[in-house]
Amino acid sequence: MKKHDDPNYVVKVEKAIAEKYGEAAVQHPRSDWTEEKEKDYIEQLKKLAEKEKQNSEKNEKIEKSGFLISKKLLKKKGQRECPKCNIYSFDARDDLYMNKFECCWKCYIKYVEHDLEAQHARNTAAKKEKEEENENHETKT
Ligand SMILES: [Zn+2]
């Protein structure tokens, strides 16, 4: 007679386990589990999931408005958003140019440096003109 054909085999094993681990270990983990309880459990899980979903949506909105507030505050300082191109920058280099020239680095290259070159060219021309004027004046006297 093989072990598994013995109708008492399961009972014997359960008894052995009970002796070793105690009565509770032998019991089916869901022996007191009813369909009713399972429905309740699933319902509770659904409610919990819904609640968590609502909470995370709420947090997201708070984070978004928090970002808007901090962005506004930074904008008030006028050092993060370039008034020329309206680019919002956290670049340290842009910060430097923003403080010095009231625009970002790219705009500085695009507008200010160009202006300075033009100004320099005008100054040089004016200086040259003045020098020529002086020379003319000197020759006359
Ligand atoms: Zn700019």
Q: How far is the CA of 77 from the centre of ligand 1 (A)?
A: 16
Q: How far is the CA of 25 from the centre of ligand 1 (A)?
A: 72
Q: How far is the CA of 81 from the centre of ligand 1 (A)?
A: 8
Q: How far is the CA of 106 from the centre of ligand 1 (A)?
A: 6
Q: How far is the CA of 105 from the centre of ligand 1 (A)?
A: 7
Q: Which is higher by pLDDT, 58 or 101?
A: 101
Question: Which residue, 93, 94, 76, is CA-closest to 85?
Answer: 94
SS3 (DSSP) at 89: coil
pLDDT per residue over 78-92, tens digit each?
Answer: 457 888 888 877 777
Can you give the residue ranges of every domain in the chain? 33-77, 79-141
pLDDT per residue over 104-123, tens digit each?
Answer: 888 888 887 888 888 888 88
pLDDT per residue over 44-57, tens digit each?
Answer: 878 877 877 777 66
Q: How far is the CA of 88 from the centre of ligand 1 (A)?
A: 9
pTM over 0.75: no
Does an H or E element contain 113, and which?
Answer: helix 113-140
What is the pLDDT confidence band of residue 31, given thresholds at 50, 70 and 90? low
